[in-house]
Amino acid sequence: MSVKLELYKVFKEVADAGNITAAAQALYISQSAVSQSIKQLETELQARLFSRNSRGVVLTAEGKMLYEYVRSAMGLLETGEAKLSQTHELQLGQLTIGASDTVTSQFLLPYLDSFHRRYPNIHIQIISGRSGKVLALLQSGKVDIAFASTPNDEALEATPCFATHSIFVAAADYPCDFDHVYSLAEIADFPLILLERKASSRVYLEKYFLQNGCHLRPEIELGARSLLVDLAAIGFGVAGVTEEFVGRELAEGKLRRLKTDFVIPARSVDMCVLKGVPQTAAARKFADFVRHGAE
Q: Which fold has domain 93-162+268-294?
A: D-Maltodextrin-Binding Protein; domain 2 (3.40.190)
State the pLDDT at residue 77: 80
Q: Which fold has domain 2-88?
A: Arc Repressor Mutant, subunit A (1.10.10)
State the pLDDT at residue 83: 65
CA distance 127 to 112: 14
CATH 1.10.10.10 in the chain, residues? 2-88
State the pLDDT at residue 1: 46
Alpha helices in the chain (DSSP H): 2-17, 20-27, 31-45, 61-88, 101-103, 109-118, 131-139, 184-189, 200-211, 225-233, 247-252, 281-294
Q: Which residues of 169-208 are buried (b: 16+ CB within 10 A; e: fewer)?
A: bbbeebebeeeeebebeebbebebbbbeeebbbbebbbeb
CATH 3.40.190.10 in the chain, residues? 93-162+268-294, 166-265
Q: What is the pTM of this model?
A: 0.68
CA distance 200 to 225: 12
State the pLDDT at residue 2: 52
CATH dotted code for 166-265: 3.40.190.10
DSSP characters for 222-273? ES-HHHHHHHHHTTS-EEEEEGGGSHHHHHHTSEEEPEES--PPPEEEEEEE
Consecutive sets of 10 residues in the chain, 295 residues long: mean pLDDT of each?
78 91 91 92 92 88 91 80 68 87 92 92 91 90 89 85 94 96 96 91 92 94 90 96 92 96 94 88 90 68
